[in-house]
Structure 1
């Protein structure tokens, strides 16, 4: 007869049996799933937070596939010289940069997913000093935010960007040559890396403010050690007869990327 006073015990396996990558944990299956929903970034974020295994798959496959699918020209330009497809800072940071506006302390709204963004390498040239214009830099159009205490009259533009091969760039060489110091209290909102203030390094061209429609002295941006750029500018309203002058007479080319959330 069973002794009812003794608790029932079940033998636990030392580890779960391994059947390889099956079902939803298979990278090919996940790729097909996300292709069917056009690589929705919110769903990838949710899947990556389920477990360490899913997080690893996202880092290894999903973030890169998202960037390539949603911005093929930009992704190819940033990774083209590396046969392994790696980029500075990683694909997860680039995916966040593509779709996430960091907001700012001077704005009423915090960081948020941007409903749409346009990245342009033509715009990026306006942010490069003359001796650094051989670098490739993509910069977004500014996301407009109402300023705190501005009474609705002042608006802050929040923008972001990314360099190709920043470690080899002339911009980084210029920062090092000038012995520019890394900021103590500011970090990159996309990869967490340390940043240089381009304003403190006196490397903010006047053409950048003109491109963004900002008043003189109302522009600040940072570049991190992985080549991610983020910044803010005070926007000024333009009259109807004012037209933006293009860089050296050039117009935006067809390599720009327009992204919707």
Structure 2
């Protein structure tokens, strides 16, 4: 059900001769340029592919600046305890997770830049077992895909997310305590790290399926060693009075989690 092929990566440039730093290769100049175009991710990808010097600048400066500009609250929450501003898996992986939907083997479009994405830490709580709800997890709304061979009636939701300080999280402690094995054929599509199947570890709460509007047994998601989450769910149509909530009175309080590609 999940895409088990090698993770899609931003194209890394080949080695090109260097003739000294030009004006456009200056980090401050590049920062001003990208500020003027609201940190367009497609342009950053194109620039990072020009040369190894641009690739290094993007890795050192541009990906973090993109994340901070497009989702300041989420970026601050994920890196707040580290004075150096580092995050698990790196800023490039987070930028890709924010804007790239990995799709799946059962969908017509296996991977694409999402035109818009909404991440919520309130939604993230529905994906955590009760004894792990002290963890901070942001999860996107599912990106709806038409299933291959579904005749237009079967739809697959593809979603993604990210933990704060996953190495210290209760979720990771649960996986270790249960001696959950890392998957052999599945890799994180955002950082390439090895992953645990939360379904195999029996750590998928029923509230996650209800939150996504997925049918029973139709939900699977993985968490990688760096705390990136990706998964799929078979969607069913729900009327407004059928939706169930586990956290009465809670509202999504993320004011900066709606991202446009």
> What's the offset of the Cα at 1:241?
3.8
Instruction: Supply the distance in 2 between the matched residues of 1:90 and 1:166 (Cα, whole angstroms).
Output: 13
Aligned-pair CA distance for 1:15: 15
Displacement of 1:255 after TM fit?
A: 4.4
Looking at structure 1, the residues matched to 244 and 11 of structure 2 have their Cα atoms a distance apart, in angstroms, of 74
**Is the partner of 1:242 in helix, strand or coil?**
coil
Give the CA deviation at 1:38: 0.4
Gap runs ≥5 in structure 2? none
Does the 8 A contact of 2:187 with 2:193 survive in 1?
A: yes
CA distance in structure 1 between the aligned counterparts of 2:213 and 2:3, rounded to whole angstroms: 83
The Cα of 1:248 is off from its aligned counterpart by 3.9
Q: What is the rounded CA distance, in whole Å, between the counterparts of 1:162 and 1:227 in structure 2?
A: 6
- Is the 1:135–1:171 contact (alpha carbons within 8 Å) kept by the matching residues of 2? yes
Between the two structures, name the one with larger relative contact order (CA 8 Å, sep ≥ 6): 2
**1:246: how far off?**
5.3
CA offsets per residue over residues 48-100 of structure 1, 9 Å max, x none? 00011000000000000000000000000000000000000000000000000
CA distance in 1, matches of 2:258, 2:151: 31
Question: Aligned partners of 2:37, 2:115: CA distance in 1, in Å?
Answer: 17
Which structure's CA Rg is the greater one? 1
- Separation in structure 2 between the aligned mates of residue 203 and residue 9 of structure 1, nearest angstrom: 29
* CA deviation profile, 1:11-69 (whole Å, cap 9, x unmatched): 99999999964400100000000000000000000000001100000000000000000
- Is contact 1:121–1:256 with CA below 8 Å preserved after alignment? no
Q: TM-score, normalised by structure 1?
A: 0.91
Q: Which runs of 5+ in 1 are unaligned?
A: none
Aligned to 1:69, the other structure's residue is in SS state helix
What TM-score comes out, normalization by structure 2 length? 0.91
Question: Which 10-residue stretch deviates more, 146-155 or 60-69?
Answer: 146-155
Q: How many residues align?
A: 261
Shift of the 88–171 alpha-carbon distance from structure 1 to 2, 3 Å rule, reads same
* Residues in 2 aligned to 1:30 and 1:126: alpha-carbon distance in whole angstroms: 40
